[in-house]
Structures are given as structure tokens and as C-alpha cells.
Amino acid sequence: MENKFALRLKELRQERGIGQIELAKKLEVSKGIISLWENGLREPNMYSLIKLAKFFCVTIDYLVGLED
């Protein structure tokens, strides 16, 4: 099964034209965490999901692939 969260995070970040380092700074996490999320090796906690949804102006359901 594909990891919709990883795909959507990378897609949203690239659409914004920002790098992993810049996103990491905005979310107050390490660049390594962003990389792990985008490669499907780790999943964010609820606090981080909320920050991501607010930053990208999308719903958590969209981020995790429950809605399009």
C-alpha cells in the first residue's frame, strides 16, 4: 500500500517551492524528520499533523489520504 501522507507532504512542499530545511524550521523539527516523513519511514504525531495542515492550509484528512 502506498503511503499517501508521504506523497502528499512532498507534493505540497514542492508546490510551495520550499526545501526540507525551510519546512523543518517552520515546523520546529529537524530536516531529518521531514526526510523520514517524506520517505514513509516515520509518521508525524498529532501535534505535527496539525501544524502541517495549518501551514499548507489543508485538512488532516487530506494529508493522510482520507479525502482528495
Q: What is the pLDDT of residues 1-28, one digit of tens each?
A: 578 999 999 999 999 999 999 999 999 9
Residue 68: per-residue pLDDT: 87
Whole-model pTM: value is 0.91
Residue with cell 523539527: 29
Q: What is the pLDDT of residues 33-58, one digit of tens each?
A: 999 999 999 999 999 999 999 999 99
Q: What is the crossing angle of helices 31-38 and 20-27, to 10°? A: 110
Q: Please give the domain boundaries of the chain with CATH numbers for all domains.
A: 4-62 (1.10.260.40)
| CA dist., res. 25 & res. 2, Å (int) | 27
